[in-house]
Amino acid sequence: MQSIKVLAAAALALGLGSASAAAKDWKTVVIGMEGAYEPYNLTDPSGKIVGFEPDVAMDACARMKVECKIIAQDWDGMIPGLNAGKFDVIMDGMSITDERKKQIDFSVPYAAVPAAFAAAKSGPLAKMPDAGKLINFDKDKAAGDAVIKSLREALKGKTIGVQVSTIHATFLTNHFKDVATIKEYKTTDERDLDLKSGRIDIELDDQTVIAAMLAKPDAADFAAVGPQLNGGDFGVGVGMGIRKADADLTAKFNEALKAAFADGSIPKYSMKWFKIDTSP
């Protein structure tokens, strides 16, 4: 009996030792960003990833007293890369949705931006209905149903460009695949090029990303058209994607983000990069 107790105690000690060895002290946190989702994040001429999210990340990491390293990762490999341990956090304008929460956890949201369309000023979609009107699918179902109906009529037979594996692609597939051609792109740059070249009729993305595209000199002939959309397929805001096993890291970032909102730091970064306050 005594030998059994000794063996049990040894096994327990070994288990605790293994758990302790596996625990992370989070001296360094690696953050994956696309480096091509302006103004959330973009790559400057020196090769450094800059933008709203790098500013938010470095602020939060300073509050947590950890070193943060930002690495580039293609958008469509974000969640697989996180769960494979390639990095510890996703920051790439990633909306918090129930579908994504099946695979990963999220921090509290650090931005909330509606979706918007862009099309040629001289084209047939320039006068789409509900221009500039904000429609929240969660708060007003009747208005949401009405805008879907009017959009289906306006977009019938058109080609819509969207980045692959995004909430925008989900929304378009759920509501328009039977009336329009939905063309998906690996990057927003590829999609924007096709819009400006006339290979697609219209595109859908976050309003801030659309605004950044329209501010470029070669986009003078294009404009935001139709309504702005949030809720429903678009989720409840943008958050940091973190592995489910790293609940302690999620808690640390939540505390840091809340502090950065409380002292006005995140709104300041938002005004710097978006020209508007995108606070949730």
Q: State the CATH number of the domain containing residue 34.
A: 3.40.190.10
**Same domain, residue pair 145 and 218:** yes
Q: What amino acid occupies position 25?
A: D
E strand or H helix at 212: helix 207-214
Shared domain for 132 and 192, answered yes or no, is yes
Average pLDDT over residues 234-239: 94
Contact 238, 111 (CB under 8 A): yes
Mean pLDDT of the chain, nearest integer: 92
Residues 153 and 209 in one domain: yes
- Is the pLDDT at 190 greater than 70? The verdict is yes
Taking the C-alpha atoms of residue 278 and residue 275, their distance in angstroms, rounded to an integer, is 9
Please report whether residue 12 resides in a domain: no
Q: Are 187 and 255 contained in the same domain?
A: no
Alpha-carbon distance of 26 to 248, in angstroms, equals 10
Q: What is the pLDDT of residue 62?
A: 98
pLDDT at 19 over 60: no
**What's the whole-number mean pLDDT along residues 136-164?**
97
Q: Is the pLDDT of residue 243 over 80?
A: yes
Indicate if the pLDDT at residue 12 is higher than 60: no
Determine the pLDDT at residue 25. 86
C-alpha to C-alpha distances, 199 to 143, 189, 191, 192, 215, nearest whole angstrom: 31, 14, 9, 10, 20
Residue 229's pLDDT is 97
Q: Are residues 161 and 248 in the same domain?
A: no
User: Global pTM?
Assistant: 0.85
CB atoms within 10 A of CB 147: 19
Based on the fold, state whether residues 105 and 242 are members of the same structural domain: yes
3-state secondary structure of 42: strand
Tokens describing residue 72: 């580039």
Is residue 106 domain-shared with residue 159, that is, in the same domain?
no
Cβ–Cβ < 8 Å for 111, 279: yes
Q: What is the share, in percent, of the chain residues with pLDDT greater than 90?
A: 90
**Angle, nearest 10°, between helix axes 167-176 and 141-154?**
80
Q: For residue 5, is pLDDT > 90?
A: no
Residue 9 is assigned to a structural domain of this protein: no
Look at residue 15 and tell me if it is in a domain.
no
DSSP 7-21: HHHHHHHHHHHHHHH
The answer to whether residue 7 sits within a structural domain is no
Total of domains in the chain: 2
pLDDT of residue 10: 41
Q: What is the dihedral of CA 156, 208, 216, 55, to 10 degrees?
A: -150
- Residue 136 within any structural domain of the chain: yes
In which residue are the tokens 């625990």 written? 23
The answer to whether position 180 is within a domain reads yes
Confidence of residue 258 (pLDDT cuts 50, 70, 90): very high
Structure-block tokens of residue 35: 């480096």
The reported pLDDT for the residue numbered 278 is: 96
**What pLDDT is attached to residue 195?**
98
Pairing of the two strands 115-120 and 222-230? antiparallel
Tell me which of 138 and 1 has the higher pLDDT.
138
Please report the pLDDT score of residue 23 as a whole number. 54
- Please choose, from the candidates 107, 59, 95, 55, the residue with its C-alpha nearest in 3D space to the C-alpha of residue 209: 95
Task: Clarify whether residues 212 and 266 are in a common domain.
Answer: no
Q: Is residue 19 part of a domain?
A: no
pLDDT exceeding 70 applies to what percent of the chain?
A: 92
Domain range for 129 = 115-234
Whether 142 and 230 share a structural domain:
yes
Which of the four pLDDT bands, split at 50, 70 and 90, describes residue 20? Answer: very low
Residues near 268 by beta carbon (within 8 Å), at least 6 away in sequence: none
Mean pLDDT of 162-176: 97
DSSP 8-state class, residue 224: E
pLDDT tens digits along 49-95: 999 999 999 999 999 999 999 999 999 999 999 999 999 999 999 99
d(CA 230, CA 144): 10
3-class secondary structure per residue, 102-144: CCCEECCCCECCCEEEEEECCCCCCCCCCCCCEEECCCCHHHH
Q: How confident is the model at residue 13 (pLDDT cuts 50, 70, 90)?
A: very low
Token representation of residue 178: 């039977």
Query: Which band of pLDDT confidence, cut at 50, 70 and 90, is reported for residue 253?
Result: very high
pLDDT over 70 (residue 231) = yes
Are 172 and 87 within one domain? no
Whether 105 and 170 map to the same domain: the answer is no
Q: Are 41 and 130 found together in one domain?
A: no
From the centroid of its chain, how far is CA 232?
15
